[in-house]
Amino acid sequence: MAFTPLHGTRAPVRVWTDPYAIEPQAAQQLRNIGALPWVEGVAVMPDVHFGKGATVGSVIAMRQAVSPAAVGVDIGCGMSAVRTSLTAADLPDDLAGLRSAIEAAIPVGFARHDDPVDPRRVRGLEQRGWADFWARFATLDERVAPLEGRARQQLGTLGGGNHFIEVCLESGGPDAGRVWLMLHSGSRNIGKELAERHMGIARRLPHNAGLPDRDLAVFLAGTPEMAAYRRDLWWAQEYARRNRALMLALLCGVVRDAVGHVGFDEPISCHHNYVAEETYGGVDVLVTRKGAIRAGAGDLGIIPGSMGTGSYIVRGKGNPDAYCSASHGAGRRMSRGQAKRTYSTADLAAQTAGVECRKDAGVVDEIPAAYKDITQVMAQQEDLVEVVAHLRQVVCVKG
C-alpha cells in the first residue's frame, strides 16, 4: 500500500497502515513528534503501537537533533538469522532436547554467564575489534563504571520479554524445509542504564521545557550533551550487535553438536532500535528507528511475527518516503497486562501447537493473539520490502 498522511502536524507524518486503526494514545504521540521543530518527517510502520516517550514502529528524521526516547531503552535491539545446510529431516527427533541444549548454552531471562565468554574460544565468531570495544567502556558515562563486570557477563545472553531464539523451517519454494536459526535481543542492562541516564539529562535541558511531552526531549548538535549521548549510543549499538553475533555463534555450536556436520550461510543482522546518519533530499538527518528496520535498496532484513506465526526474511526497496525503512515485526495489538487477563495457558498451548517452546503462565503475555496479524502487516508494506523467505519456527526459546 502507499502511505496515508496523518493530518494536523507541522512535519509530514506518513502512515503505512489504516490511520484510524492506530490507538488514540499512539496517534497523539505521533502528532506530538510531528510538532517538534527539529523534525523533518516521520514514517509510521504497520506494526505501530503506543510506546514509552516515542511510538513503537516510528521512524523519525531530525535535523541537528536527536531524541533518546525515539530510540528507546533497549539501544540496538534487533534480529540476527542464518540459513543452514540442514533440512527438517536432519533435525533430531527430540526437539525438547535441542531446546534444553540451547537454554544451557545461552542464558535467558535475568540469567547471565558465570564468567564472561572469551570470544577467542567461540568457533565462527568474528575476532576483530574486541579489545578496542571493551577499552572504550572507560569512556562511557562515569556512572555506569560499576556495571562493566555485569555487562561482560551478560554479553551472549538473551534477556526476557519478547526476546527469543528460534529454529525455523523455510516454507514453500525450492528451499522448503531448509533450517534457519534466528534470534532477537539487544544491549541488555547496560543499554538500558545508558539510555535512562541520557533521557533524564535531556528532560532537564531548558530548550525542552515547552514540549508537549517531556519524554520527547532532544539533544542538540554541537552541545556536550549531544556528544556524550552519541558516544554512549554508538557503543551500546555495537554491544547489541556483538551480543547477537556471540549468541548466534553459540547457537550454531549447539546445532553442530546435535547433528554433526553443518554449513552456515552469511548471517543477516539488523538493528530495529537505533540511530543512523542518513541523507534524504540533500538534507543530512539523524534517523531514529524505534521498532523499525532499515530497508534500503537491496538491504536484507528480518521481520518476525510471534512465537506461533513465523517470520520473514526480506529485501528492502529503498523507499525514501519511509526513510528506507520497514516494520520490525507484527507489533503488539494488546498490552502484556491485557494479554494475561484475556488468555490462559490452554490458549497458549493451542496457539503454539507444533512448536517446542514454553507453554506456561510466564509467557502468556507473548501469546500469538496478543500480536497483530503478520500477514496483514506484510501486505501493508509491499512498497517497502519484498519477501525473500517465509520461516515457521519449530523450536522457540523465551526468557
Binding-site residues for GMP sit at 162-166, 272-273, 304-307, 311, 328-331, 398
Residue 260 CA to its chain's centroid (Å): 31
User: What would you report as the CA-atom Rg of the chain, rounded to the nearest whole angstrom?
Assistant: 20
Q: Are 305 and 383 in contact (CB under 8 A)?
A: no
The angle that helices 188-203 and 224-259 make with each other, rounded to 10 degrees, is 160
The DSSP secondary-structure symbol of 371 reads B
Residue 267 grid coordinates: 548471517
Which of 198, 271, 328, 390 is an active site residue?
Answer: 328
Q: How far apart are CA 20 and CA 26, in angstroms?
A: 11
Alpha-carbon torsion (54, 306, 164, 126), positive or negative: negative
Contacts of 25 (CB under 8 A, 6+ apart): 50
The Cα 65–Cα 323 span in angstroms is 17
Q: Annotated catalytic, 328?
A: yes
Binding-site residue positions: 74, 162-166, 184, 272-273, 304-307, 311, 328-331, 398
**Which residues are annotated binding-site positions for Mn(2+)?**
74, 163, 184, 272
CB 207 within 8 A of CB 220: yes
C-alpha cell at 389: 523467505
Residues acting as catalytic residues: 328
